[in-house]
Structure 1
Amino acid sequence: MKAGAGPAILIDMAAGDELLPKPTGPGGTGNGPAVSRREFDALFASVRTWGRWTPADRGAWNRVTADHVRRAMAEVRTGTVVPMALPWNTRPAPDNKRPALHHMTDLGDVESPEPSTHKDFIAADYHGKGVTHLDALCHIAYRGQLYDGRAAREVVDAAGARFGAVSALGPLVTTGVLLDLPAALGTRWLEPGQAVHADDVIAAEEALDVTIGEGEAVLLRTGGVRRRVELGAWDPDTASAGFHVDAVPLLAERGVVLLGSDGDSDVRPSPVDGVHSPVHALAVAAMGVPLLDNLDLEALSAATAEAGRHRFLFVVAPLNVPGGTGSPVSPIAVL
């Protein structure tokens, strides 16, 4: 383990018992070690890819070539299609403070002319915890700058974003990797507030017999959806499992193009002083890597376990919203 990298996932291969790391963060939440703002700024600079790609507002998605897509298609063996979106959630809850809207606008009660129709309306303030969504590159600024050093105030206004909008991304088709931490640990879920460190990623790769490659999408399963079903909702803004910032250099080195999670990829509480979503800042603003938040990875966990492999064809197509900061999405995996 690198110095200051935090507790690793310990896997006793001889005994077959997996041990959760001991809590080390503030309040015993396991989200540490703490990172100063100065350390974070140095980390931001070290993973920054500004000026690397054209067009810049597609960021790391520029890595994905036709060869990547062909290799992803080769991952399909059984043809099993697994959706990863949460149900459209209109009920208030601790993790759904701004519920989505859905109501009928036409109940087929017009007698003439035929045929009758049924119509509905949906809407969502989707950048929260209740809707599966994609974060575009204009969604996150750090120290006033979007990805590629664009000043946020100059390119984002009430009309939307003129750089880094979701409409610039288009659909992504590549190889997906499920980093199933509970499966690697032999536990039901990670507890809210538990950080996933670089050493944990490597240990999980070994346990799951999978290696993250360049141009691939990485999906982190913490088991939060299963925990919610069994124990009830909690406020994930207060505590949620996710990546510690010390895992980001490894992911940057591997050349990932997208990060997703059944949370929002960040461990909470944040271990970084004065930065509430440090993985968001590093991934989106520094590396140009979009994020998928609030996935349901339970069916994918079961499917990959049955198939005995954790790689698959991954497809996500955001809505074409000019100037949009992201989009509700329904990603799919095909095994």
Structure 2
Amino acid sequence: MASTSADAPDPGAATPGNGSATPGNGPAVSRREFDALFEAVRTWGRWTPADRGAWNRVTADHVRRAAAGVRSGVVVPLALPWNTRPGPDNRRPALHHMTDLGDVERPEPSTHKDFIAADYHGKGVTHLDALSHIAYRGQLYDGRTAGDAVGSEGARFGAVSTLGPLVTRGVLLDLPAALGVRWLEPGHAVHARDITAAERALGVTIGEADAVLLRSGQVRRRAELGAWDPDTASAGLHVDAVPLLAERGVALLGGDGDSDVRPSPVEGVHSPVHALAVAAMGVPLLDNLDLEALSAATAEAGRYAFLLVVAPLKVPGGTGSPVNPVAVL
């Protein structure tokens, strides 16, 4: 079990600990091996409209079946609080200030107004990555040239406004629950074998058009041991887990980190799972979820599948959006 004492190890250190059976971020993957994997999982030319990517898998029947699985009606929000405090995991804090304290408008009633803003593609804000967010070797999903498709006014292909509300069956892969530990240590890579083992332990199976949410326990670890720089070390998926997710036909991928294990096991590629999911497979990503309440709710319910609803802001040309996804059990 993880230490929570004053002499606990450096939170940023990629140590195994915590009962992890497969510690470390390896095995290392060469750029040549990664490029072959990219080609193996890419789905370019498969769907119309192309800029909805794998979300084209989700049909009305999928939504109805997901809704029919609701039993208790318990609603669990999955977003982190709006974070205005700078820290090692929040280098670009969100903004929130008051613009009206009841002394601006007359006559009655008085009003109170505020302003919010965020450079949200970081570690501090729960957000959705649209298909325009990631390019690999200069190409977005479906082979679109990044320089032509994304400019100073935003994205002309793969914008978040083309996705709309995302509603489907969600599956929580609660790795700490499956392993009987409090959290995965930063730098712990999750492999395909870990996913299938978690499915067996939790009694759930990932299916076509599902949204897969990976819990590493990062939020709990931060609460107990303090913040660290997740760009340097974070638990997440190894690239060898991606072919399994491609085979299952997932439509959305997310986690309490940003899906990638760090340090990256791939030479010269900082976020290889981002490249494979978004640019190769057309799978949008949910980053920086708070999955602690969902972990408790699914454990109490004894089931790890639920209705997932994600409603991004409708920003024309946006490469993503802050979101507050909800799970309905």
Asked if Structure 1 and Structure 2 have the same fold, meaning a TM-score greater than 0.5 normalized by the shorter chain, the answer is yes
Distance of 1:108 and 1:312 partners within structure 2: 42
Name the SS of the counterpart of 1:176 in structure 2: strand
1:295-333 per-residue CA deviation (whole Å, 9 max, x = no partner) reads 000000000000000000000010000000000000000
| Residue-pair matches, total | 312
Specify the alignment match of 2:15 in structure 1: none
Q: Report 1:290-305 matches (<5 A).
A: 290-305=284-299
Q: CA RMSD in A?
A: 0.9
1:173 aligned to 2:198?
no
Cα displacement (A) at 1:223: 0.0
Cα displacement (A) at 1:19: 4.7
Q: Report 1:1-150 matches (<5 A).
A: 19-23=19-23, 30-110=24-104, 112-150=106-144
Distance of 1:56 and 1:22 partners within structure 2: 37
Name the SS of the counterpart of 1:323 in structure 2: coil
Cα displacement (A) at 1:111: 6.7
Q: Report 1:221-236 matches (<5 A).
A: 221-236=215-230
**One-letter identity of the residue aligned with 1:201:** I
Cα displacement (A) at 1:162: 0.2
1:263 aligned to 2:257?
yes
Distance of 2:51 and 2:25 partners within structure 1: 32
Q: Report 1:196-275 matches (<5 A).
A: 196-275=190-269
Distance of 1:226 and 1:269 partners within structure 2: 21
Same amino acid, percent of matched pairs: 85
**One-letter identity of the residue aligned with 1:215:** A
Distance of 1:251 and 1:111 partners within structure 2: 54
1:137-164 per-residue CA deviation (whole Å, 9 max, x = no partner) reads 0000000000000000011110101000
Q: Identify unmatched segments of 5+ residues in structure 2.
A: 1-17
Q: Identify unmatched segments of 5+ residues in structure 1.
A: 1-17, 24-29
Cα displacement (A) at 1:80: 0.1
Cα displacement (A) at 1:191: 0.1
Distance of 2:199 and 2:33 partners within structure 1: 27
Give structure 1 regions of 4+ aligned residues with deviation exceeding 2 angstroms.
none
Specify the alignment match of 1:318 in structure 2: 312
Kept in 1, the 8 Å contact 2:176–2:182? The answer is yes
TM-score by length of 1: 0.92
TM-score by length of 2: 0.94
Distance of 1:131 and 1:208 partners within structure 2: 28
Specify the alignment match of 2:302 in structure 1: 308
